[in-house]
Homo-oligomer: A and B are copies of this chain.
C-alpha cells in the first residue's frame, strides 16, 4: 500500500529498447514502413513483448513521437538571456535549435513524415505532433511579441507561421541533402531575415509587407 508500486527492472528497460528500435525505424521508413517484426528484430524482443508494453502499433508510434519530443527538448539548451541586442538573442536561439536538431533529428523527422500523410483514419501520433507544433508556433509568437512590442497581432502571427514553416523546410533540406548543408548557418541566416522582416513590419504601420 505505502510502496509506490515497485517497478520491475527488466520492464522499463525493455520498454526503452522497444522505443529506441521503433524510433530508428520510424524515422527512416515512416508509419506504414515501421513493421512490428522489424522493431522486434532490432530490439531483440518478441512481438508479444511489444504488445505487452503497447496496445497496438498506433500506440507505439504515438509513444515514439512523445518520447522523441522530450528527448529533443532536453537536448536543446537555449542560451541564457545575456545583455545582447534582441537580434543577437534571436540568432543565438536559432543556432541552438539548429544544433539540437542536428543532434536529435528523430522527433521532427518522424513528425513531418506523419504530418504529410493524410490517411482516412489519422494516426494519433500525427495529431500529437501537430499539437506540439502549434504550441511551438505560439512560443515563437510570444517571443516575437516580447522583442518587438509595436507589432500588431496579425503581423506576429504571420511572422511566427513563416518562421517555423521555413525552419521545417531548412531541416528537411538538411535531412535529404546530407551533412554538407550547414543547418546552423542556415538557421542563423533565417533568424536574421525574420528579424529584418519584423523590424520592417514594425516601422511601417500597415500589415502588407
Contacts and interface: CB of A to CB of B under 8 A. Distances in A.
A192 interface: yes
B169 A116 contact: no
Main secondary structure of the interface of A (DSSP, over half): helix
A11 B208 CA distance: 51
Tally of this chain's copies: 2
Interface string A148-180: 000000000010011011111111110110000
Interface residues of A, number: 43
B209 A192 contact: yes
Nearest to A91: B209
Given A33-B117, A119-B33, A188-B209, A168 B172 contact: yes
Contact of A172 (B30, B115, B197, B200): B115
A30 to B, nearest CB: 6
Contacts of A185: 158
A28 interface: yes
Contact of A192 (B32, B130, B161, B197): B197
A193 interface: yes
Contact of A117 (B30, B161, B194, B197): B30
Interface in A70-97: none
A146 interface: no
